[in-house]
Structure 1
Amino acid sequence: MDLQEVREKAREVLKGICRVCVVCDGRNCPTGVPGIGGAGTGEGFRRNIASLARWKLNLRVLHPRKIQDTTFELFGHKLSFPILGGAIAGAKVNFGGRLDEREIARALVLGAKAAGTVALTGDGPDPEVFAAGLAAIREADGWGIPVIKPRSNKEIIKRIREAEKTGALAVAIDVDAAGLFNMTRVGQVVEPKTAEDIIEIARSTSLPLILKGIMTVADAKVALASGAVGIVVSNHGGRALDHTLGTADVLPGIAAAVKGRLMVLVDGGIRSGVDVLKMLALGADAVLVGRPLFIAACGGGPQGVKMQLEALAQELTVAMRLTGCGALQDISSEVICNVM
């Protein structure tokens, strides 16, 4: 099995839901939300791709950095590279029930672990979504990070207790899901969070707390002041609010404000190792990859996810070598330029 075969299998499984396009930029998505596309017009999804594409790389090959080291430390755990699996969930709602929730979670978590990195798992209106993620993390001996919707604090803390029992590396809240209709239409509260809410949640657990869905310096500063140890610069893959900026648009300012005091992760439109390098150069410590790993999971299970992650890592290694970088700390704004 190679990645082309994985993609062909995924195209069969996802017919009518995702075309598994050669260029995954949201322009030809047959479905929005529910589905795998962007919200509304899909502009937020497309903006993620466009904002990253306007950055170009400075080729540099006369340098002494002959060996590239991509290893990365996340909350005291050594990863093979700074590429994590984003949370993909909601099989019944988004994928027409063609895929089993536990099968998807297991593929993402175990595939990431086999590749030497870690994946996030999801939450949703169906209790099976969160349970599937926890089951996969438990099978992986805690090697995963569950994401919880911005429910009431009582409900969040209840789920954190379940996550703690799996030995999870950390726990996250996707605060950008505060307006998701698939939750509210079934009577499950999701809401914006105050600084006081985050303080209460952070103090309720010894697990590192990550807030996913930070798109402004103001929110990043609230996260820092409230006890979070990491943030994900994210617009929910363009699936929460139409017409948002792309993550590469806002990442530099956010990183400048809090990097070194918060772990800065980013997602949105990352399709290659070159894209990973760009995001690191823009200020991220590591990235999350969503749709490419979802396709790999659909077409190849854990092995497909492992292969896709390793391919991204290999592309990152080559990009580092050709921009004069020997280790992640060598990657700076000097390796990129904005020509748009």
Structure 2
Amino acid sequence: MKEIRENARKLMKGFCRVCPVCDGLACRGEVPGMGGLGTGNAFTINLEKLASIHLNMRLIHSVSDPDTSTTFFGTRFALPIFAAPIGGVSFNMGGKISEEEYIDAIISGCKARNIMGCTGDGVPEFIHLTGFNAIKKSAGHGIPFIKPWEDQELYEKLDAAKETGTSIVGMDIDAAGLITLRKMGRPVSPKPLEKLTEIVKKSGLRFILKGIMTPDEALMAIDAGVDGIVVSNHGGRVFDCTPATAQVLPDIAAVTREKTTLLVDGGIRNGSDILKMLALGADGVMIGRPFSIAAIGGLQNGVEKYISILKEELKQAMVLTGTGSITEIGPRLLF
């Protein structure tokens, strides 16, 4: 993995420094690029607040080989992890590999390790097209995320998403404030409840909504018929005044429990971070920038190695907290 990161640092020079800890400090305000918008606070606070949470260490137990597998949307996966939807290699990551190479590495690497990868959307068109093609090549093993475009483009992309063979589609409604898209003349916008309900129904697939940061909007999303919610501030790339996802997650989990699948992203870097988010109430996590670094630096091999490391780290954290399976994770783990 060290060699993969070193290679990524060379290929992403000027776009991402591949810091020892991806905390958003060195890349504040670098959008396009891998940084957070403006002050970068919404990126860095995700890391800071997650790091401030501690776990109770327990070692008088019989757990030595915990079960990290779990079920999402009717399918059993090896880990409660999704590779978050990120695209735009050419303008965010240096462009030293192609968009096709990048997203194929994400989708194929995740499939090989029995987790689910997601694809992104944006401008130019090849971002979503290469994502859709990667999912097709993997026989539908991937989740295409579509931005909250205006009706014609949105519905055309939803129809195209069905043709990939996937059973799940997502919308990153947290992209509604992306400055870069507005500058390109391709506006995205928030969606009122009535419109969101219509979109979910017309999709004809299981539907995940990414970008929920308050309990009331979580309940509204459930009313709209979504099958899953992602607590996310878009990695700090749309609004630099938000709280951390780890801060808002418990209150959202309290109102959504057993009503929908609850995922979260934001600053998750290792197995202990995954365990913390699950203890705070999430069913699973999405990880973004570290997967991008692994894919740029090592293509599918890099993605697979990163997933293997996450699995070992998660198992170690579960052993050290006396947790035998994902279903046993809860608030008792939190100090």
> Do these two structures clear the TM 0.5 threshold for a shared fold by scoring above it?
yes
Instruction: Give the conservation status (yes or no) of the 8 Å contact 1:111–1:306.
Output: yes
Percent identical: 45
Is 154-163 or 122-131 further displaced after alignment?
A: 154-163
Q: Which residue of 1 aligns with 2:262?
A: 264
Is residue 166 of structure 2 the alignment partner of residue 168 of structure 1?
yes
Is residue 118 of structure 2 the alignment partner of residue 129 of structure 1?
no
Task: Return the offset for 1:31.
Answer: 6.2
Q: Which residue of 2 aligns with 1:253?
A: 251
SS of 1:157 mapped into structure 2? helix
Q: Which residue of 1 aligns with 2:20?
A: 22
Amino acid at match of 1:201: I
Q: Which residue of 2 aligns with 1:332?
A: 330
The Cα offsets for residues 298-320 of structure 1, whole Å up to 9 and x where unpaired, read as 11001100110111011001101
Alignment partners' CA distance in 2, 1:84 and 1:169: 15
Is 197-206 or 221-230 further displaced after alignment?
A: 197-206
1:178-327 matches, cutoff 5 A: 178-327=176-325
Amino acid at match of 1:150: P
| Runs of at least 5 residues in structure 2 that lack an aligned partner in the other structure | none
Alignment partners' CA distance in 2, 1:25 and 1:300: 21
Task: Return the offset for 1:109.
Answer: 0.6
Amino acid at match of 2:316: V
Counting matched residue pairs gives 335
Instruction: Give the conservation status (yes or no) of the 8 Å contact 1:52–1:269.
Output: yes
Alignment partners' CA distance in 2, 1:158 and 1:259: 33
Q: Which residue of 2 aligns with 1:153?
A: 151
Alignment partners' CA distance in 1, 2:94 and 2:4: 20
Instruction: Give the conservation status (yes or no) of the 8 Å contact 1:142–1:167.
Output: yes
Amino acid at match of 2:4: V
Instruction: Give the conservation status (yes or no) of the 8 Å contact 1:17–1:30.
Output: no
Task: Return the offset for 1:49.
Answer: 0.2
Is residue 53 of structure 2 the alignment partner of residue 72 of structure 1?
no
Amino acid at match of 1:114: A
Alignment partners' CA distance in 2, 1:296 and 1:31: 23
Amino acid at match of 1:224: I
Alignment partners' CA distance in 2, 1:58 and 1:30: 33
Amino acid at match of 1:209: F
Instruction: Give the conservation status (yes or no) of the 8 Å contact 2:28–2:40.
Output: no
Instruction: Give the conservation status (yes or no) of the 8 Å contact 2:173–2:211.
Output: yes
Change (3 A) 1:153 1:259: farther
Amino acid at match of 1:242: D
Instruction: Give the conservation status (yes or no) of the 8 Å contact 1:146–1:163.
Output: yes
SS of 2:263 mapped into structure 1? strand
SS of 2:298 mapped into structure 1? helix
| Runs of at least 5 residues in structure 1 that lack an aligned partner in the other structure | none
SS of 2:324 mapped into structure 1? coil
Q: Which residue of 2 aligns with 1:140?
A: 138
Alignment partners' CA distance in 1, 2:229 and 2:196: 12
Change (3 A) 1:14 1:61: same
Task: Return the offset for 1:92.
Answer: 2.5
Compute the RMSD of aligned alpha carbons. Answer: 1.2
Equivalent residue in structure 1 for 2:41, among 31, 40, 43? 43
Instruction: Give the conservation status (yes or no) of the 8 Å contact 1:125–1:182.
Output: no
Q: Which residue of 1 aligns with 2:3?
A: 5
Amino acid at match of 1:159: K
